[in-house]
Every structure is written in C-alpha cells, then in structure tokens.
Amino acid sequence: MKKRDAQLGMRADIGRRDFIHDVGLAGLGLMLPAGALAEARFLPGAHSDYPPVENGLRGSHPGSFETAHALAREGRAFDAPHMLDEAYDLVVVGGGISGLVSAYEYRKRLGDDARILILENHDDFGGHARRNEFHQGGAMRLAWGGVFNLEYEGFSPAVSEWLTELGVDIDTLISRVDFKYGADGARGPATYFDAESYGRDVLIPGFAFRYGDFAAMAGLVDDVPLDAESVQSLRRFFAADTDVLAGRGADERDRYLSSISYFDFIQKHGGLTREAAELFINTTHGYWGVGTDGLSVTECIDAGLPIMHLLGGGPGIRNRDIGGNVAQFPDGNASIARILVRALIPDVAPGQGAEDIVTARFDYARLDEPSSAVRLRLNATVVSARNEDNGVSVSYVKDGRVLGVRARHCVLACWHSIIPHLCRELPPPQKEALSRQVKRPLVLTNVLLRGSEAADRLGISGAHCPGRMHAYSWLIKGVEAPGYAHEWSDDGAVVMQFWGTVGPPMGEMDIMQWHRAQRAQLLSMSFEDFEREVRTVLNGMLGPAGFDPARDILAITVNRWPHGYAYDYLDLWDPDWPPGQAPHEVARQRRKNIVIANSDAGAGAYTHVAIEQALRAMDELVEMRT
C-alpha cells in the first residue's frame, strides 16, 4: 500500500527545515527574480560557520544562481559598481578546482607576496567537489556532493606531478578504499522495480545492468515485473552468445557502433521489446548525464553495459570492475579543494598536505581576511570582467550590492555558458563557442540512515532503480583516511547516496535542447520533491526488511547541479572537429589580461581535466608576461 506523506515522515523534523535564519531576506529579495522567495525556506543558513554540515537543498542552492540568471536570461545591467579600495594581482572567478589550482599556480610562479582574490557565487568552495558532513547519528559520516573520483589512469604526467606536490599519493588512496558502488552486499548488486512504475515493488539481488554477470541474469528475469513478451526478450538477450555484425569489416563495424544509440541497437539486434529496452535508459544517467537513448553503442561499451555478448565477445563478459580504476577520499574530491584552500590560506585550518585533510576543521571566517595575501569571498556572483589599460576590472554582487575590484590579471574559472555575459568584449565566434558548452545536469542526494540493518538483511548495499528519478543508490562505507573509518561491519548511522539526473523524455530533441529542458525541470523542483522521492524509494526497497522512513531517516542533503558535467563530445551529436576548431578550444582563447580555465575548456568532466586547464591558463599568463 502506498504511504501518505505523514507515514513517509515528510512532516518529521530532521534538522533541515530551519533554513531562513537571519539572512536578511529583505536585502536578498532585491536581487532575486519574482518567485525566488518562495524557495527561501530552503535557503541554507547564511550565518553558518561551516557549510559542509548544512542539509536541505544544496549544490546550486537558492541564492547562488539568481543574480547570474538575471544577467544572462533577463539582460539585467549591473552598472556603476562601488569600487572597493582593494588591489590585487589576480582575481579568480570561481572557487572550484580550476579556480583554486589557478590561484595556487599563480602564487607559485609569481611569488608568495602575490595578492589574489577568489570570488565564488556559492556559500562553499570546491565547485562540484563538494563535501557533505553528517553528525546527526553520532560519529561523523562523510559523503561527496559532486565529483568523487580521481580517474588516475587518465592523468597526464603534469597532473600526476602536480598532485604529488600537493601530497596526494594515489597508491595510498587506493589501498584505503573498499567500496563498489552498490555491489558490496552479500548478494551483490541489485535492481529495484518500484510499484508506481511497474505495478508492484520488486527487489532482485544479483540483477544488474551495468557490470553484472550477464549470463547469470538470464535465470533471474522471471521476477522482472514486465509483460511476458518483454520478460522473454530479456531472457534471450542475456543468454545470447553471437555476433550480430558478423561479416562486417572492422572499420564498418566501428562506424556503425558509433552511429546508432545503444537503446536502438538492443531492440534492433538484441531482440528486446521497447518496454524491456527502456529499463536500460537511465543506467548511464549518473555516469554520463545522458541516457542510453542519447549514447552510441561504443560509448555504452565503455560504460559497462551488456553488449559484447552480441558482438562475438562471449556471454557474461565484463568490461571492467565496478566503478573502474579510481582513487578516492571519503568526501570525494572535496579533499583536493580543501588541500588547496589550506595551502593558499594557511590560517583557515591547521596542518598541511593530504594525510590529515579529511578530519581538518576549517574556519570559514578566516577565508576572507584583509591581512591575508589570498582571500576567498563566498556568496559573491561576478557580473562583469573587462580589460582596462593596465589590467582588469571585475564587478560582482554580494549582499545585494554591486561591488568592484581591479587587478593585473583575471582567470575566468566559471562555467562557459555565463562567460559571454560577463566578458562582453569577446569576439562573436568565441561567444558562440562558449554558448555551445551546455553542461549536463546532475543530482546527488545523500540520506543519512539510522543504520544499514534492513539492507544487510536483504543482502544488498544499493540498487539500480530504472523507474525512478535517481538511477542508482548505494550505501557509503569502506572509504577511509587517517582519523576517519567507516567499516562495513559498523551498524551505526550510514549515508545512502542517490545518483542520477532528471529530465523529460528525449524524444525528438537534440542533446542541447534536452539538457536545457533537464535544467528547467531540475530548477523547478523543491526540496520536498526530492525528499518525497527518496523516502518513497527507501520505503519500497527496504521496507520489507523493517525499514521505516519516518523513523530511520536522520538527514537529507540534496546536491542539485543544474550545470553539472562538462560537455564532452558524443558520437551521435557532434562532428569530428578539425584540430584547434572544436568549440572548447575556440572558447578558451585568452583575451588580453583575461584567461579561461575550467573543465569546460577541456571538454571533460574530470578533476584532472580541470587541473590541466588551470595549468594551461597559467602558462598563457606567464607567456604574456614574457
């Protein structure tokens, strides 16, 4: 029986409804577009001295994007800034990984006395490398709110050397991880079919569409709540051992596999009904921000989806281990951001390097002190960056005021899509290229549970949810660091993470139209929408094992990223650009004293790409000076 909101615990006080605090909403309201104050009750506590512990609607939280939307969508002018009596060598627009690396490299190359101001529109630094910290259940529990892996196999020598300089040792990190993204349970990965989408709640341990034992899954399909024809098509699909492209040459095969979506291929060549094929669509939502209806077969092979048994690879072949080869901190790549901030502003936290960074307590009040050579100013949205005769002038909005500073140089380490509105002097081809870098929306919702007993009884640590908003869920344990451990045997409070994206059916939309529609839908959603979703899923998935969402949920943090993954080029949507003419290459060109550095500039949603682009931007500044 479907539970009402009260039965799900929607009216429970879990420490996330008191968000207005003393934020000065009258002043804030001057900057917010009509209707924005309706979401103010979910505004994180502006007076909080430690944002990582905030629950509720985080990521791009209310208050972080309205000024930028007024600038870009409404064409609002923010003229006549009040120029502050502050002079800098460098102003960095954006406090994410690229912005922090840029500041770090600038000081290293120009000297410790270089004065730097970092302007960040959110109430926390790190960009998508965001730390979620929970204390409601006793011992501190950590989770990542965005970027969470170091994909070390993709590191360039420069990135490897740079991370080593920071004290980040990949082998050490790998040795501290015992975590398999929902496949850690006694019965392996699982799939959860919800009653709202499929007529009844069904949990099938051992049944997994990505990185699963595809041959074994043929014996589990009878439990899938689809019509008989669809179930039979799944049985044939998973049991297949053939080469549906036999007789085609290697080049022809490659071209074909890059020209057809996985969703279409498994119907045309795998014999799946449309209803059965739809089970696979959201398997890549979190991984790529795009479903299998928008990705080629080639791209889905890399994502670990079952296909090689149709291409002569044998039944049950696995492409790689679950999660791939990665290194990880307990709070994801937020630790990289924290290492950088502490290196730039030593007074913010004691210690140095990577070994103690996870447990270091940061004093956010020390981020923007006048006596510091490097200052990081939060809740400051840049609205203009322009070259002047001897440097740059940067304007930003903070606390309802339009303020301005001057510097010798500026790094735009913000999202590409906003840069044409900030830097109007850029030539039209560059503005057009910047506008093409449409980020892929992403959501990571962290739910602190009273314990993992229900999941343990079921033999699972998470599940794929083909009919729900978040494609995947998993318990976070087994990622350790000095001073922080959460073993799988620990039956105390635990974070269950939900990972995926939202959006309407792709239909006839092209990929950029779809991403914009995703973004609109994501921004229209309230915290209650996400809360109801995770409570409903947890009730259906874990309820049969004794889980009560009204009793057993201690906190919820929604990391909403309408501008999520950087746009990387896809087989079905993008041409093969000539060298130097790809949009990201045109977009990142230096403009006098202004350079651009972010993962968009490298067309890759990875931390190492963000680092590479910051190093490139600093090379451009050094080249300009010489």
302: part of which helix (H) or strand (E)?
Answer: helix 297-302
Residues whose CB is less than 8 angstroms from the CB of residue 309 and which lie 6 or more positions away in sequence, other chains included: 214, 215, 238, 240, 241, 242, 315, 316, 317
Least confident of 211-215, 239-243, 294-298: 211-215
CA 250: distance to chain centroid?
A: 36
Q: What is the pLDDT of residues 325-370, one digit of tens each?
A: 789 999 999 999 999 999 999 999 999 999 999 999 999 999 999 9
- The alpha helices in 400-548, defined as continuous H runs, are 419-422, 428-435, 453-458, 511-524, 527-542
User: 560 has which bridge partners?
Assistant: 59, 443
Please give the pLDDT value at position 326: 80
CB 181 within 8 A of CB 323: yes
Question: Rounded to two decimals, what is the model's pTM?
Answer: 0.92
Q: Does residue 157 surpass a pLDDT of 80?
A: yes
pLDDT at residue 17 is higher than 80: no
**CA–CA distance, 625 with 512 (Å, rounded to integer):** 38
Element (H, E) at 474: strand 470-476
For residue 13, the model assigns a pLDDT of 63
pLDDT score at 36 = 35
Q: How many CB atoms lie within 10 A of CB 567?
A: 25
Q: How many CB atoms lie within 10 A of CB 247?
A: 7
Single-letter amino acid, residue 264? D
In which band, very low, low, confident or very high, does the pLDDT at 512 lie, cut at 50, 70 and 90? very high
For residues 208-225, average pLDDT = 84
**CA distances from residue 11 to 43, 134, 554 in whole angstroms, order as listed:** 18, 20, 13
- Mean pLDDT is lowest, of 88-102, 112-126, 244-258, 317-331, for 317-331
C-alpha 102/C-alpha 617 separation (Å) is: 8
Residue 293 near residue 281 (C-beta atoms within 8 A): yes
Residues 1-24, buried b or exposed e (16+ Cβ, 10 A)?
A: eebeeeebbbebebbbeebeeebe
Instruction: Give pLDDT, residue 400.
Output: 95
Which residue do the tokens 């609109």 mark? 520
Of residues 596 and 18, the one with the higher pLDDT is 596
* Contact of 469 with 557, CB cutoff 8 Å: no
Does residue 24 have a pLDDT over 90? no
pLDDT score of 320 more than 70: no
* CA–CA dist 225, 214 (Å, integer): 18
377-431 pLDDT, tens digit per residue, is 999 999 999 999 989 999 999 999 999 999 999 999 999 999 999 999 999 999 9
Q: Which residues contact 602 (CB under 8 A, 6 or more apart)?
A: 566, 584, 609, 610, 612, 613
- Predicted confidence at residue 626, as pLDDT, reads 53
Which among 368, 437, 324, 291 has a CA at the least distance from the CA of 116? Answer: 368
Confidence of residue 3 (pLDDT cuts 50, 70, 90): confident
Task: List, in order of start, the domains of the chain with CATH numbers.
Answer: 5-67+135-144+176-182+438-565 (3.90.660), 80-125+367-437+577-625 (3.50.50.60), 212-310 (no CATH)
- Write the pLDDT tens digit of every residue in 542-584: 999 999 999 999 999 999 999 999 999 999 999 999 999 999 9
Q: 3-state secondary structure string, 101-131?
A: HHHHHHHHHHCCCCCEEEECCCCCCECCCCE
Q: How far apart are CA 436 and CA 512, in angstroms?
A: 8
- pLDDT value, residue 214: 73
Considering only the C-alpha atoms of the chain, give the largest distance between any 2 of them, rounded to a whole number of Å.
73
Q: Does residue 509 carry a pLDDT above 50? A: yes
Residue 319 tokens read as 């492409």
Return all residues near 283 (Cβ < 8 A) that are at least 6 apart: 209, 210, 291, 292, 303, 305, 464, 466, 471
Q: Where are the alpha helices (DSSP H) in 47-118?
A: 66-72, 97-110
Q: At what angle do helices 607-625 and 157-166 cross, to 10 degrees?
A: 90
pLDDT at 14: 58
Binned at pLDDT 50, 70 and 90, residue 1 comes out as: low
**281 is written with which tokens?**
């669509």
Q: What is the structure's pLDDT at 213?
A: 75
What is the C-alpha to C-alpha distance for residues 623 and 292, in angstroms, rounded to an integer? 43
Percent of the chain with pLDDT over 90: 84
Cα separations in angstroms, 89 against 72, 106, 301, 373, 619 = 28, 9, 47, 10, 16
The answer to whether 244 and 269 are in contact (CB under 8 A) is: yes
